[in-house]
Amino acid sequence: MSETTASVAAAASTARRAVVAESAGGRGRRARTALRGLQIVLALFFGIASALPKLIGHSTAAEIFDEIGWGSVGMYGVGVLELAGAIGLLVPVLQSVAALGLGGLMAGAFFFQMTVFDGENAATPLILVVPLALIAWARRDRNAQLLRLVRRGA
């Protein structure tokens, strides 16, 4: 192979690596943006559509918790946990833990939908668990940051 052929091949190889690296960076940026958008949508859902009716004592939320047997204490407690999770989805160091916590709440909601309400609306918590698990996994590196902050404060 001549020097010219070798230099052309090396230049082509370098160009291919640059294109691959550039597209991976763009794809990574789009994925991070999409994940952030998903977190915002879920935070709005949990904060407004789910927590707010419980925290203002809306009659439909009160009826549900009365039927479960938890009453207003359970309703306000779950509302506070949902609001805290919604806020946590927006705080970088809390994102993974908040997604895990909200996923746990959705597991509990699924259990009660199946046992108390005979499966009515049981798909909703299952559907919400999927993006919450994705967020918890994608933001898992933040758990080390949170642990360092907690240890520093202790």
Alpha-carbon distance 40 to 46, whole Å?
10
pLDDT band of residue 27 (cuts 50, 70, 90) is confident
pLDDT of residue 147 exceeding 50, the answer is yes
- Both structure tokens of 43: 């935070």
For the chain, helix, strand, coil in percent to 5 are 90, 0, 10
Taking only the tens place, the pLDDT of each residue in 107-145 is 999 999 999 999 999 999 999 999 999 999 999 999 999
Taking only the tens place, the pLDDT of each residue in 36-90 is 999 999 999 999 999 999 999 999 999 999 999 999 999 999 999 999 999 999 9
Sign, CA dihedral 32-40-136-118, equals negative
Reported residue count of the chain is 154
How far the first Cα of the chain sits from its last, in Å, is 65
Sign, CA dihedral 19-24-29-33, equals positive
Residue percentage of the chain with pLDDT more than 90: 81
Alpha-carbon distance 32 to 27, whole Å?
9
Taking only the tens place, the pLDDT of each residue in 77-109 is 999 999 999 999 999 999 999 999 999 999 999
Question: Under DSSP, is residue 139 helix (H, G, I), strand (E, B) or coil?
Answer: coil
Q: What is the pTM of this model?
A: 0.80
Alpha-carbon distance 121 to 125, whole Å?
8
